[in-house]
Structure 1
Amino acid sequence: MNAIKKIAIIGKGKTGGQVVELARQTHRPYEVFDSHSDFTQVAWDSYCGAIVFIPAAALATHLETFIQSNLPMIIGTTGFEFPSDLRQRLLAKKISWIHGRNFSLGMQLVHSILTYLGTSSHLLPEAHGQIHEIHHTKKLDAPSGTAKAWAEWYGDKNIPITSERVGDVIGDHRFTLATPYEKISVQHQALSRSIFAQGAVWALDFLLQNQKAKQLYGLLPFEQIVPLALH
């Protein structure tokens, strides 16, 4: 990684603000943009990569410009459906993008647990699963992207998901697998928004340290990256 190059932090919201604070604390050079910035005027060559936390509508507006930047990017936007040809376009340009609905590294442990429960659920033929998620009142999408991911990890996208919007709750997810005779619960509570910033910065550093790794080219989910880093 070229130490003199900056991180482009795109988004000034709660999570974007935590990325800025983390970069400041660790003395990383950075520049902050928001969804209204004129990205067509940005000299992308002066940046090593970008971390993006902007609303879905803004990402749709700027997506083409971001592709043309040729930068590795970490995309934390939720509620956005990436174009079907995006992965192939990034592969052709040998660019790595990581997208995630939750950049908590601890959440990756939950991923392993839910995947195991899903593949072992035949041991409990009468079991019924349910997911409940709680977030702050300013979160617009419901159910959360993380709750949807949990359903995918368990292996049942049709599992019931309930949602609450309360106060300033950062993120509280609970998975329950119940039979008439027993109950299994898995809960993850985000106590600080900094966990998302730490995970996003970690992901960008991983890309920068492995820029020639062909398996990282294209559009990859965050949960696919963590196991690669552990091997």
Structure 2
Amino acid sequence: MLLHLPTSVSEVQQHIAEGALPIGGATLVWATFQRDGFPDRAMSLRNLPEANVLGPETLGSAVVLHRIDDRVPEVLRRAAGTIGTGAVRRAATVGGNIVGSTLRCLLPAALVLDTRATVLDAAGVYETDLTELLAKRPVLLSLNWRTPLTSGYHKQDSDPGGPPPFVVATAVHAEPDGTKRLRLAVRDGYEFLTATAAYDTDVDAVLHAVETTDIGGLPAAARDLVRRQVTEVLSAV
């Protein structure tokens, strides 16, 4: 297998045209390669400056999980800190987790931050939403968002080898019109559900609005966790 380490966007485009497979941190694909055979060409973005940004409102796809610190919102930092073991977090990347993984542990946090993705395909660099990113799977360069007023994250304990643990991510944003809005995302198995609700000092009113969405169809125990996390994040505004 020939591994490319591009240092410019134009090099990435060239390798894409030549059929190179993006591999992220390779923590997930390596076992597949050993079982099914290695591709002729692979590509890592670890030397690409655009994929290594890390700041209050941006996170590069080649950033390894253990580097994610208090420069990013709490919800994203806590999500990254609960993924795998320390050894996994020192190798796994943001792009590999969101695009290359079925678990997508960072996705609920990215969803509540109303994240946009800067991506690359044969036509060039452009910005898109997470829905298009996951559907079309262009090369992810970075994630970008607006800083929330507050955010929170909860991941249930789980047994190794069992189903994906239930996750609740929350964030409250100030909107351009002066209002505030709660964003909520959960991972239930391999399914991701989202909800938004206008901020209100009446927590019960916000919870009622959340219950009218798909979140209201979750099992009772899961809804209890959602209510607890919503109440906690609203109290921090």
* Length-normalised TM-score, structure 1: 0.27
